[in-house]
A and B are shown apart, each in its own frame.
Chain A
């Protein structure tokens, strides 16, 4: 697809009433950046966004429940984990959307399989090979001048970019630039296998030529691995040649035992990292053109286990933040009185609704095509 066709497609999709209320999305396309934050292991949503007014919650979690007087109140029913305090400035500035009950029907409780479902935006019993972002980028390519469609910071898994996106995984930009010296821009291939390999090689060369690691930020990034990943993400976004999406990960949310200390440390790391990302992006004037979204393979069981932890569960809460995000609470409070036979929460917001928000609401793309179905975007992007 040529760039002009892309603009036409995006324009048509935008006018096709993608947004509720007949609002027209401002045609911005890939000048807007997406930052995905994967909370690996499955973050416990109930202790992240605490239903502190619900007696059932304290009944299910006598030991690990967050006391009412410790939560950071969002409204009369929901409050954030106290370690998320660095996000409260965003909440008060109406730049933080908190979405409760995100999941999908017939939830799979395997880390491996469930993140595959999230990455490919498949149904629970459907195996797709391409990631949801790869499908979007194939249908509507990013400008050829972009360094890449996506950059994955930390970890080698292509995740939502697998299967056709121009995506590059870097631990840090310097190391990638060093390793990329082994790649040579090749000529055209003689068969599909070689064509594919040479395309990947060219993608590496193009990214290496256009990614830089030398923007000097006044912002101080937290001195943790996640803080470093956020710093690398900020370096990628500061680059001149463009990247549509950046993915960072925070590991360790599989809190089967002694959850309180572990989760508090992780959420503090998350909140400080996100606050630093905002400060950095404000510094370079990119906060209004960046959307940050968290996700994870699943949430955790409503009832605490006997090890002061929680087992694999289903629906969870997630955050979207950015200069154009309409802050507030989305999705109903967790239905602790309607747990399923395994003691798991029903989901209220399909994760593909969030993807539709990104694809349609943020980028103005045809979300239904990339997601193989119609999903309802959340009305949380300001024009």
Chain B
């Protein structure tokens, strides 16, 4: 995300990670999670139907939701349930019986323990007749996925989630139905849905400006990219996003990060502010006159208001460089109103920045509550 030339693809890869959740906490295999990440990336802006079919056979997913151990006579319902509740239809649009029948269809979809690849265990598969959402047949897993994709509810559910990512916290049901219907008519082309959302009136409506709270990754990566920071490595930023409540590859549960207002509590809010403070004080810390550096690392730790144990974080942060003069020169010569327009999606929540300049201006605006919004 820090380096890509296609930020939308990376943003959508993270979006799908939070939709088709799998976690290292349970899967325990970084290799399988990496392969899942590559899969999500390759379909990120592709076809949702293709993505759904691929995820259902993805080894990390098969382990995460226990389908790998599901077999005829003892179907494990975990995957089938989340498939309907979280991946396609949404809660309350199917019955317990639909879950049980679908679970039978996925029996035998498993993982080869040696290669870590998908494996179909024929003897474990239940090839009997199932009835799902009113249709009956000797369905296998693929057939179940196609039944779910045929439901208008699936397109609406996914569109509603995209709306909450890109537009506002509360989707407009009429608009969602309109966009979902184009999405489904296109055969689930993700670009069609995104395009419709991003040219919608709602996307540009004043009441939807700065209506969403940046995720930790958006805050951290967005800041580093926006200011053209050069960094020596991602370590301090992984530490930060973890502290801010977004541990990549380990969402809290199968529902993913709840996001929105849940991102901000007293701890994470102060941590967000402290991170921004550190980022824009690094130059100052590095430039401290030798006299004030008498305390060495301890002196710097105190100056950065860091606690014992955060030395490694500070060392890594000291490798971060930002050329404020050059950056400000590009933004209308550092004029306060122009910088504010570039940094804040809405007017500042606190005192305005008029009369400020240089690093003071940048620090003032990035410490404003409105900087947390997108």
Residues of chain A having any CB pair with chain B under 8 Å: 110, 112-113, 116, 127, 129, 152, 156, 158, 162-163, 167-169, 171, 175, 178-180, 182-184, 186-187, 189-194, 196-198, 200-201, 203-204, 207
Contact = CB atoms under 8 A, between A and B. Distances in A.
Given A156-B243, A158-B265, A193-B260, A116 B252 contact: yes
A190 B346 contact: yes
Contacts of A182: 270, 273-274, 277, 367
Interface string B248-279: 00001111001011101111111101100100
Interface in B347-374: 349-350, 367, 369-370, 372-373
B222 interface: no
Interface stretch (B174-182, B189-197, B206-214): B206-214
A113 B26 CA distance: 10
B307 interface: yes
Given A182-B274, A182-B367, A201-B269, A194 B373 contact: yes
A171 to B, nearest CB: 7
Contact of A191 (B210, B258, B265): B210
Closest 4 A/B residue pairs (Cβ): A156-B267, A169-B267, A182-B273, A196-B261
Given A169-B266, A182-B274, 4 more contacts: A184-B350, A189-B349, A196-B261, A198-B349
B266 A207 contact: yes
A197 B348 CA distance: 13
A114 to B, nearest CB: 11
Interface string B218-252: 00000000000000000000000001000000001
Contacts of A171: 307
Nearest to B26: A110
B42 interface: no
21 contacts: A112-B253, A127-B253, A127-B255, A158-B265, A163-B262, A169-B267, A171-B307, A179-B305, A182-B277, A182-B367, A184-B350, A187-B350, A190-B346, A191-B211, A193-B373, A197-B213, A197-B349, A197-B372, A198-B369, A200-B264, A207-B266
A238 B326 CA distance: 52
A110 B266 contact: no
Given A179-B274, A191-B210, A129 B265 contact: no
B332 interface: no
A167 B267 CA distance: 9
Contacts of B252: 112, 116
A207 B255 CA distance: 32
Nearest to B276: A182
Interface in B69-116: none
A197 B369 contact: yes
B9 interface: no
B25 A204 contact: no
B236 to A, nearest CB: 17
Contacts of B46: none
Contacts of B346: 190, 194
B190 to A, nearest CB: 26
A193 B212 contact: yes
Contacts of A116: 252-253
Nearest to B85: A127
Contacts of A110: 25-26
Nearest to B212: A193
